Structure 1
Amino acid sequence: MDVSGKTVVITGAASGIGAALARQMAQAGAHVVIADLQEQAAIDLAQQIGGLAVSCDVTREGDIRAVVEKAEDAFGQVDIFVSNAGLGRGEPDHAASASDEVWQLNWDVHVMSHVYAARAVLPKMIERGEGYLVQMASAAGLLCQIGDAAYSATKHAAVSFAESLAITHGMDGIKVSVICPQYVATPLIGLTEEAAEGRPSLLTPDDAAKAIMQGIQEEVFLILPHKEVQEYTRLKSTDYERWLQGMRLLRAKAIDDMGSLQPQNFYKLM
């Protein structure tokens, strides 16, 4: 898809991958709507790129509908909706040790926000026979994030929902992409871009945004900013038991080398 002249909504767009993607979309000629809880940061970015900033809590369906309405008022039909907002809380102990509140927040941000976005834009997209839904998942949605079961489970659900959208609406003219990166130096994991220097396993937000832009332009379903994830996924499907044992050994190595299971530090083991 050529994004020039298209109206693009991006949630979680005030920082990290979302902000980098917003800049690249604007440079490519798109009308960009920056939806984020960080209202002032969204306003600042919108002023830089000539976009529209809208305060949005993606766990509230009403907020997402309001974003779509404001986008339509400002620029016309929403052509591309990028559900990018995300979070990571980790877990204090065993795999079920995160609180109900943390599990629910992961579900609301990583799954229901995508559902809300689809509800808000799909009917009009289907009516006109075109539209594009881009959903941020994670390599954890294909593999697993050691030390954060809630994140992994909901990212798997995000990939599954994207598959359902693509299967159900592909013949309606709706394009769907799901993004599954590994580690990106963003505020989400408490890292600056400088941390990515000399570490191929850790991408900068700009690196990730370039891969996403390419995927959207080529209209591919599975966007992998880290190309090695494709091979990891193949190995998992080929020998599940071996893959599980390998992940157990990686978990043990993380504890031995780093003394803890902080997901934001796992890029150092790659």
Structure 2
Amino acid sequence: MIHRREEAAVAGRLEGKNTLITGAGSGLGRATALRFAREGARVACADLDPDAARSVAEEIGPAALALTADVTSLRDTEEMTRRAIAEFGHLDAVFANAGVAGTGTAADVTEEYWDRVIGINLKGVWLTGRAVLPHMVERGEGVIINQASMGGLVGIPGIFPYTAAKGGVIAMTRQMAVEYGPSGVRVNAICPGTIFTPLVARSRAERGASGADDAEANAAAARRFPLRRLGEVDDVASLALYLASDEANWVSGGIYPVDGGRAAM
């Protein structure tokens, strides 16, 4: 006879779960898609780049679906959600992860650039939730994980529009958790510190900083974190896995730094 704890370990922590991840073609989204799949989930991999979405879905195999979506478009996010539900039958968890870098200060960022960063990093998270919430409310259960940032918790020079958007995601997460908790929907946010994804590399390049392969710059950056190392994509994927799983079934409205202790300083 197999004990329940052993059975759960064998089955996988997301066994039988249907999930959707935006920005799944690279970085944190890709790592999380692969992790969810390893833990038994079916994964709808959505990305603005159709080749990137197809690549990660092919890496996962039959349990994955590749979708192309612009998260700043209500039509796209609704179609993305419709297709995922049509393929899987329902959605248990959605990770609103798609985002872009956003450099500049309050005095020099252009209106056009501000609109783009806010549009993807804040509006895109809202539209993803907006598209999936009616489905989850009707089912009486569901999980939404919003990608925020350490920059939404503390001031970081040179990335003003990015931190503004991520601060909005944090506030929005709390609001959604309060409004939709009575319908059985859990909503949480993850706030990563520095992890050298393509997004962070682009941000560094825009600010004229050293690249991700600069060992001296990386060592200096690591010293700013109490744990004295930079993050890795699996650090975020592991938390997303927990929040999407039944292990977190009484966890909602949480804002979770994954930053080596930086936000505590």
TM-score of the pair, normalised by structure 2: 0.80
Partners of 2:151 and 2:125 in 1: CA distance = 17
Partners of 1:128 and 1:194 in 2: CA distance = 49
More displaced, 67-76 or 198-207?
A: 198-207
Q: 1:154 maps to what in 2?
A: 165
Deviations 1:207-239 (CA, angstroms, capped at 9, x unpaired): 32123323433434222222514523xxxxxxx
Of all paired residues, the percent bearing the same amino acid is 33
Give the drift of 1:63: 0.9
Give, as a single letter, the amino acid of the residue that structure 2 aligns with 1:231: A
Give the drift of 1:111: 1.4
- Runs of at least 5 residues in structure 2 that lack an aligned partner in the other structure: 1-11, 202-210, 223-227
More displaced, 166-175 or 207-216?
A: 207-216
**Is 1:170 the equivalent of 2:215?**
no
Question: Between Structure 1 and Structure 2, how many residues are aligned?
Answer: 230
Is the CA contact (8 Å cut-off) linking 1:95 and 1:147 kept in structure 2?
no
Q: 1:214 maps to what in 2?
A: 242
1:184 to 195, 198, 202: 195
**Is 1:204 the equivalent of 2:232?**
yes
More displaced, 136-145 or 16-25?
A: 136-145
Q: 1:95 maps to what in 2?
A: 106
Give, as a single letter, the amino acid of the residue that structure 1 aligns with 2:242: Q
Give, as a single letter, the amino acid of the residue that structure 2 aligns with 1:71: A
Partners of 2:214 and 2:53 in 1: CA distance = 23
Task: Identify if the C-alpha distance between structure 1 residues 53 and 193 changes in structure 2 by more than 3 Å, giving closer, same or farther.
Answer: farther
Partners of 1:127 and 1:181 in 2: CA distance = 31
Is the CA contact (8 Å cut-off) linking 1:193 and 1:205 kept in structure 2?
no
Query: The residue matched to 1:81 in structure 2 has which SS?
Result: strand
- Runs of at least 5 residues in structure 1 that lack an aligned partner in the other structure: 233-270
Deviations 1:43-81 (CA, angstroms, capped at 9, x unpaired): 111011021111111111111111111101111111111
More displaced, 157-166 or 104-113?
A: 104-113
Q: 1:223 maps to what in 2?
A: 256
Query: The residue matched to 1:206 in structure 2 has which SS?
Result: helix
Partners of 2:143 and 2:116 in 1: CA distance = 26
Deviations 1:188-209 (CA, angstroms, capped at 9, x unpaired): 0226589698744421212321
Is the CA contact (8 Å cut-off) linking 2:154 and 2:263 kept in structure 1?
no
2:96 to 64, 76, 83: 83
Task: Identify if the C-alpha distance between structure 1 residues 109 and 52 changes in structure 2 by more than 3 Å, giving closer, same or farther.
Answer: same
Give the drift of 1:136: 0.1
Q: 1:13 maps to what in 2?
A: 24
Partners of 2:214 and 2:29 in 1: CA distance = 18
Task: Identify if the C-alpha distance between structure 1 residues 72 and 215 changes in structure 2 by more than 3 Å, giving closer, same or farther.
Answer: closer
Query: The residue matched to 1:95 in structure 2 has which SS?
Result: coil
Query: The residue matched to 1:88 in structure 2 has which SS?
Result: coil
Is the CA contact (8 Å cut-off) linking 2:35 and 2:237 kept in structure 1?
yes
More helix by share: 1
